Structure 1
Amino acid sequence: MNRIRHQAFEWGRALCVVLVIACQAGGNARAADKEPPLRPGAPSKTIFVASNGWHSAIFVPRNELTPDSLPEITAFPEARYLGFGWGDAEFFPARDPGFTTLLSAAFLPTPAVLHVTGLRVHPEAAYPKDEVIALKISHAGFRNLIAYLDGTFARADRRPGKPVAPGLDPHSYFYRAKGEFHLFNTCNSWTARGLAAAGVPIDADDIVRAEGLMASLRPLSANSFK
């Protein structure tokens, strides 16, 4: 991560802290239908949520997906896991985002992109400095989550969407996404709504910052890694 991008992230974090404290407003898009929480002893599937302190992403095993459920998996034939993170269409892909881009992303509803990463290793191994939390969800919850991810892609039909930019990680791409990004509808809000749809018992309407998301997930984790 270069110096300018790191500085922009710090500006964004500071703005979020100040404004979230001052304005406990929601403004998130309506959450998807929720699956009931996993029952003790019920069959489950394991997913992962990773955060670097400001951004979050959901990781799922690629071998649990099919092109019918998520057409874009064909772009990642050798991946063991696929990661999905949502964000502002200008700020998120920018290698050197400026302060004007940051302000626009924070205060104005802006178009969104979905960052999809193909990992050949476990998320913990791929992101050793990030917090990675494992969550067990029901089979129905997993189907709901995949439907949520699939529904985020802004495509006209069931053909795989075309990447709009190379991703930030090896084997990653940005795709056009549904929704509008702003200060109270962030990547973490998007992650929380997907988890809630999967049956993870969190209040997605209250999630804006990464710390709030991860704090809600830590007591629920099957395993967590630092």
Structure 2
Amino acid sequence: MRRAFRTLLKGSLALLFLVSAAIIWTARPGNPALFPAGEDGIDVVLVSNGYHAGLVVPLRSVAEIASRDGMAGVLPVATRFRQFDWIEVGWGDDDVYRSTPTAASLQMTLAARALLGLGNGSVLHVVGIAGVPESVFAGADVTRIRLSKAGFERVVARIDQSFALSTGCQPEILGPGLYGPSLFYRAVGDFSAFRVCNHWIADLLDAAGIPTTPAAAILPFGIRTDLKWRSRF
């Protein structure tokens, strides 16, 4: 019994060491020229349902930047959702994301295929939001984040680059989304165990100059903890 306990303890310590090393190794310092934001910054909201995170961004600010810079991906989306105050954007595996409205509906076969990176492709999920995001997502974990104007512009540019464009240089609509007024769009990049949906969110925050840690960002809890400890959100 003692030998089994010692073996379990050693294994747990080794796993803890590996996880800690991965977190330290992948930690990104952020960009002090972009973050923290001043009083004239722009708020975004991180929304988490426990296993997946999305970023809620103010539509008017997105539309202004997309129009000014002629963003072929974001501009048509901003126009389509123009009656809303905000849009929530999330990225994920094509098959899994489109067939999983809740954690309970997750199909393990599809999840395994996605994590193995078997080339399913990816999608963006865009949801129109009217009113205050914290009220709309009252049952979820939400974190309001203030970005600098330059950092926000970089986030919008990164979102724009995530849309896969059709031959007509338009974002390709794949069908209705999972909840509310929403749509799925074909996206750039493949999902895998080393590139999950929450890594995409961490990359957006990194583009805005916020310190992030990819090894901790596998789950939304890791992103939120990182934001709390390193950025005081």
Structure (1/2) with the larger helix percentage? 2
- 1:155 maps to a residue whose letter is L
Tell me which of 46, 49, 53 is aligned to 1:56: 53
1:117 counterpart = 2:127: yes
8 Å contact kept, 2:37–2:146 = no
Secondary structure of 2:124 counterpart = strand
TM-superposed deviation, 1:43: 2.8
Tell me which of 77, 91, 94 is aligned to 2:96: 91
Aligned partner of 2:211 in structure 1 is: 201
Secondary structure of 1:50 counterpart = strand
8 Å contact kept, 1:47–1:59 = yes
TM-superposed deviation, 1:51: 0.4
1:19-34 aligned within 5 A: none
TM-superposed deviation, 1:34: 6.0
Tell me which of 94, 97, 100 is aligned to 2:109: 100
Quote the Cα distance in structure 2 between the aligned partners of 1:104 and 1:39. 39
Aligned partner of 1:154 in structure 2 is: 164
Unaligned 5+ segments in structure 1 are 1-19
1:137-176 aligned within 5 A: 137-156=147-166, 159-176=169-186
Question: Per-residue CA shift, 1:32-59, capped at 9, x if unaligned?
Answer: x967342464631111111011000011
Identity %: 27
- 2:117 maps to a residue whose letter is L
TM-superposed deviation, 1:212: 0.8
Structure (1/2) with the larger strand percentage? 1
Tell me the C-alpha RMSD between the 2 structures: 2.7
- 2:86 maps to a residue whose letter is Y
**Which has the greater radius of gyration?**
2
Secondary structure of 1:168 counterpart = coil
TM-superposed deviation, 1:102: 1.6
Question: Per-residue CA shift, 1:165-187, capped at 9, x if unaligned?
Answer: 21011111110001110122111
Question: Per-residue CA shift, 1:85-118, capped at 9, x if unaligned?
Answer: 0000001011555321121112224310000111
Label 1:192 to 1:158 Cα distance change in 2 as closer, same or farther (>3 A).
Answer: farther
Quote the Cα distance in structure 2 between the aligned partners of 1:21 and 1:154. 39
Aligned partner of 2:3 in structure 1 is: none
TM-score normalised over the length of structure 1: 0.77
Aligned partner of 1:188 in structure 2 is: 198
Label 1:126 to 1:39 Cα distance change in 2 as closer, same or farther (>3 A).
Answer: closer
8 Å contact kept, 1:86–1:112 = yes
Question: Per-residue CA shift, 1:44-76, capped at 9, x if unaligned?
Answer: 111111101100001111110225342211121
